[in-house]
Amino acid sequence: MRALPDVWVHRRPSGLSYGDLDGDNRTAAPPSRWSHVLAVLTRNEFRARYRAQALGIIWSLLNPLVQMLILSLIFTRVFHSATANFPVFMLIGVVYWQWVSNAINASTQAFVSNADVVKRTVFARHLLPLASLLSYAVNFAMECGLVLLFVPIFPHAFALSPALLLLPIVIGLLVALLAGIALMTSVLNVIYRDVAYLVSTTLMLLYWLTPIIYPIAIVPEPYGKLLHLNPFAAILIALRGCVMEGVMPDRLTWIGMTIPTAIILAVGWAIFRHYERMVLDYV
């Protein structure tokens, strides 16, 4: 019986398909098919998260709403915050950070949590951590709808202006920032399992270095300008400015959003490509 060359075999109803093996890297779908694979992985990740839950995605909406109510009561009734429309200010920050923290934590564990998928399925491996962060982007989109429900309650908290046209660009920068971190931490966590703990600790520190529960205006200089170098802070400042004040991001905010994001994305991709071949050995 003639032996087959080194190939991977995929059984489907229409027959068998084969692909070449290159060491431990099997030929995956071409880049033209990556969008389809990414969509499937994202959909499966989102559905699996709410499987066997009675309320399902309702929990995703209740969590930021409850946080907003509690923190608004504390800061307006106890600490007497002077921030205008504080409940909306707070809700935007909570919804924003919920996507950031959940996406980074989930994508860091992407290869470890899906070890069987990595070992048995052929696909471009960088799509797995990206699918994790995009699955939480679905939650973010639904929670943005929750923010819009407060328009009739706090009409003066929202500004209809041309600055709203910048929202897709600002959110795109956030996706690029999260992608760079996801690529980096997901592959490193396979080899060094301490990375997951380092990520959670860093996120705790970043929570307080990002103006989620306080306005950037109360931070004295030069620390206020330094906070703009935190891309998470700069992006949140830009989002609130566009939605609540109708103002375009200033030059310092643009610098804080773009330059660190570009560096993190480039470094994340380089680290992923360097360690990608080691994933199967450690997963």
Each residue of 51-82: pLDDT tens digit? 766 566 777 788 888 888 888 888 888 877 77
In a domain, 12, yes or no: no
Is residue 157, in this structure, part of any structural domain at all?
yes
Structural domain harbouring 218: 31-282
Model pTM?
A: 0.85
Q: Is residue 174 part of a domain?
A: yes
pLDDT tens-digit map of 143-175: 898 899 899 989 998 999 999 999 999 999 999
Residue 19 lies in a domain: no
**Is residue 11 included in any domain, yes or no?**
no
pLDDT greater at residue 173 or residue 122:
173
Pick the more confident residue, 223 or 199.
Answer: 199
pLDDT, one tens digit per residue, over 207-239 is 999 999 999 988 888 888 899 999 999 999 999
pLDDT in tens, 34-46: 788 888 888 888 8
Give dist(CA 232, CA 210) in Å, integer. 6
Q: What are φ and ψ of residue 215, in 5° steps?
A: -75, 145
- 39 in a structural domain: yes
Q: Count how many domains the chain has.
A: 1
Q: How confident is the model at residue 21 (pLDDT cuts 50, 70, 90)?
A: very low
Q: Comparing C-alpha atoms, which of 13, 222, 46, 228 is closest to residue 138?
A: 46
**Residue scoring higher pLDDT (166 or 31):** 166
Residue 121 within a domain: yes
- The Cα-based distances of 163 to 168, 182, 253, 258 in angstroms read 11, 29, 14, 17
Q: Which two tokens stand for residue 18?
A: 């084969």
Mean pLDDT computed over every residue of the chain: 85
What secondary structure letter does DSSP report for 210? T
Q: Is residue 240 situated within a structural domain? A: yes
